[in-house]
Structure 1
Amino acid sequence: VKLEEKERIQLLMSASLAIFLVLAQFCTTSAFAPILLSHPEAAARARHCAFWSGGWGANTAEALMRRRGARDERSRLLLMQAPGVAKLRRAENAPGNVFVDESCIDCGTCRWMSPCFTRSNDKSAVTVQPQSEEERLGALQAMVACPTGSIRTESPDPLSKQATLSFPLPVPGLSNVYHLGYHSPKSYGAAAYLLVREGGNVLVDSPRFNEALAKGIIALGGAKYMYMTHIDDVADHVRWSERLGCTRVMHASEAPRAGLSPGEGSVVLEGVGPWELDSGLRVIFQPGHTRGHTVLLDKEEGVLFTGDHLQKSSRLGFLAAFRRYCWHSWDDQIQSMEGLWKESGGFRAVLPGHGQRLLCTSEQEMEGHLKRCIEWMKEVA
């Protein structure tokens, strides 16, 4: 039977995805990886492959075995993006207008943004349809934030435009921090934030580029700095720095892979810090997840932006690190966590790139959470 042209294109795209997957695993796990990544452009391209194939890290048998599960899962999710599969409504969705399709990569963004979403069979699903206007708006904001466009509606919702224009969205409980939404598939759906302050605003990590969002950021005063925690979450940083005219900040161990060099509209942090980026802003060196991971502390408000270093686990119910996705060294990450409280001087809020936020009523409460996290990290080492 002669295939229709559309079916031929779908088969070709599926085959291309499979080839991409093989190349991604080769680039990050083979003995040739150091050679392949020696060229800046090759390194930049391979970084995206590394995200899907299991991440950066030492090429040891133990490390590769530990990452096999992560690679297999992300390989499965990548292949589910194939045309004809991605648009299917998941059977796990509750009947109603809002649904998640099969292109979901299980980044978890929608689940901490709206209670209508939960995890079901390794992906997100709408298990309770939104009823009130507030619930509908929250679900639609999650749809805007979704990095893969996997949240959809059977029919248009009148609140869709309001949801689209609602970002930057104030973070509840904090007076000067905004969630930027528009998560990027390049960072596996990491959250980005805008810290608004008199000395100049700070863009924390990168959302996917969107002109409406850019105008919203400019309306709040633009951005003096674009601080990036580590290489995984840089996404569209070049476009954002060009649009906002902000100075990019990153650790020297991560900067080359992002194409950053000192003195070219960027600040490259050398050594182990800590560094005072501006009055009341401290960058703290926290290697572990990656070799040059850092976190940013707003000392005045007691807010810590943690990237992929620290988050509140929905599964465990307390602060935790990503054991399965530790690309560099778990021992180093434990050591970093043990020194975090002293180097920071204390904080009351954790805003991660992945995972749930944690806002405490006092620094003492947060210190207790951090001690519990360190105990758990040692238990699973």
Structure 2
Amino acid sequence: MSDVEDWGRAEVTSKCVGAMTCRVLAPEIFREVVARSKPALGPGNFSEVGKDIASAEEYTAVRQAIFSCPFKAIRWSRQPRVRLEQLPPLYEGFPKRIEDNVYFMGHPDANTFACAGFFIRHEGHNILIDPPIAHPKLLEAVQQMGGVQHLCFTHVDHTGNATAWYEATKASRLMHKDDMVEAENKYTPFPVTKGFEHLLELKAGETTALEGLAEFQIIHTPGHTAGSIMFLYKKKFLFTGDSLHYSAVKGHLVAARVQCWQSWELQTQSLLVNIFQDFQWVLPGHGDWRRFESPGAARASLDRCVWWMKRQGRGRTWLPWL
């Protein structure tokens, strides 16, 4: 754009607690921090700026990251000089196709701690996983793609937008019973979910299929929370919630040790189940995505993850509402 003088520069502050939303929305700009000798929770402790903004597309992605960060941990260190009227609206172009009939929803917000939401377009069985804010334009776009028949939640802290999407779509809602919230109370930020149509009672490691769609497998993987589940679609796309993501620094899949609310040992054991599954894509609620060349490469990375997890500290991170 000829009249753009400066796209500005962003920075990640010490408010960052590792939601990693910025790395999903603007992966060209934000990256995982390499461990270095500095105080814990210092600026950019989880994510940092890896390069300068060099295009309108990158600038828009950074704006989305700044707007979406639930902890307001990203700011402009140098204000851009841009004619905003020549740029597209902040959230245009979602849902965004990832591969095949799987889409990234965009529109993350604080209700779900800015997790990534995903949409599967499968005729008669469209699935929305960990839905983002029910923005009117997003609702309209999804409706044009056949609507939503199933609302599926990987665990309790991604249910913040459940009511809005249910009221808009009347889709069937699904989560694990162990993460169900029975009643409103001042000690939890999560909505009541006891009225969901499907409250699964799977045991750890057990699997089942979504009703009417054998290609969509549900796996109980407790550890991050008691009711954490993963979804495996077409033996290719593994939607992992907050239980598993990719680390470019380590070079293999990892779990978030700081954000383990139930049991690190149980989470480690849960991930062993997936070593026997075929998958190529890892699509987490928080953290970097990864497409592996083959199911074998994916399983090898998961095997390294489990090896690494067994060498971390035991226990959990305590939260008052979990």
- Matched residue, 2:105: 180
Change (3 A) 1:128 1:374: closer
**Residues 1:290 and 2:220 are matched in the alignment:** no
Change (3 A) 1:371 1:140: same
Alpha-carbon deviations, 1:301-339, whole Å to 9, x = none?
x10100011101244232011112111111111111112
Which of the residues 299, 309, 322 maps onto 2:234?
299
Amino acid at match of 2:173: R
Instruction: From the two aligned structures, give the one with the greater strand fraction.
Output: 2
- Matched residue, 1:39: none
For the 8 Å contact 1:144–1:163, the answer to whether it is kept is no
For the 8 Å contact 1:111–1:117, the answer to whether it is kept is yes
Write the distance in 1 (CA, Å) between the matches of 2:304 and 2:133. 34
Instruction: From the two aligned structures, give the one with the greater helix fraction.
Output: 1
Change (3 A) 1:126 1:245: same
- Matched residue, 1:108: 20
Write the distance in 2 (CA, Å) between the matches of 1:101 and 1:347. 33
Alpha-carbon deviations, 1:48-94, whole Å to 9, x = none?
xxxxxxxxxxxxxxxxxxxxxxxxxxxxxxxxxxxxxxxxxxxxxxx
Write the distance in 2 (CA, Å) between the matches of 1:160 and 1:235. 30
Higher relative contact order (CA 8 A, sep 6+): 2
For the 8 Å contact 1:290–1:326, the answer to whether it is kept is yes
**Residues 1:97 and 2:8 are matched in the alignment:** yes
Seq. identity, %: 29
- With normalisation by structure 2, the TM-score equals 0.78
- Matched residue, 1:12: none
Change (3 A) 1:101 1:282: closer
Describe the SS at the equivalent of 2:178.
coil
**Residues 1:250 and 2:157 are matched in the alignment:** no
Amino acid at match of 1:97: G
Report deviation, 1:369: 0.4
- Matched residue, 1:157: 84
Which of the residues 337, 345, 354 maps onto 2:286?
354
Alpha-carbon deviations, 1:17-42, whole Å to 9, x = none?
xxxxxxxxxxxxxxxxxxxxxxxxxx
- Matched residue, 1:365: 297
- Matched residue, 2:188: none
Change (3 A) 1:104 1:210: farther
- Matched residue, 1:335: 269
Write the distance in 2 (CA, Å) between the matches of 1:186 and 1:135. 25
Amino acid at match of 1:282: Q
Report deviation, 1:163: 4.2
- Matched residue, 2:216: 281
Alignment: residue pair count: 280
- Matched residue, 2:44: 122
Report deviation, 1:371: 0.6
- With normalisation by structure 1, the TM-score equals 0.66
Alpha-carbon deviations, 1:154-206, whole Å to 9, x = none?
455346434422111122xx111111111122332211111111241111112
Change (3 A) 1:371 1:325: same
**Residues 1:206 and 2:137 are matched in the alignment:** no
Q: What are the equivalent positions in structure 2 for 1:15-54 lying under 5 Å apart?
A: none
The alignment's C-alpha RMSD in Å is 2.6
Write the distance in 2 (CA, Å) between the matches of 1:226 and 1:330. 28
Write the distance in 1 (CA, Å) between the matches of 2:228 and 2:268. 13
Write the distance in 1 (CA, Å) between the matches of 2:48 and 2:113. 18
Amino acid at match of 2:198: V
Unmatched segments (≥5 aa) in structure 2: 1-5, 34-41, 183-190, 314-322
Which of the residues 183, 189, 193 maps onto 1:260?
193
Larger Rg: 1
For the 8 Å contact 2:176–2:201, the answer to whether it is kept is yes
Which of the residues 136, 145, 156 maps onto 2:59?
136
> Structure 1 stretch 161-170 or stretch 325-334: which is displaced more?
161-170
Describe the SS at the equivalent of 1:347.
coil
Which of the residues 159, 168, 193 maps onto 1:234?
159
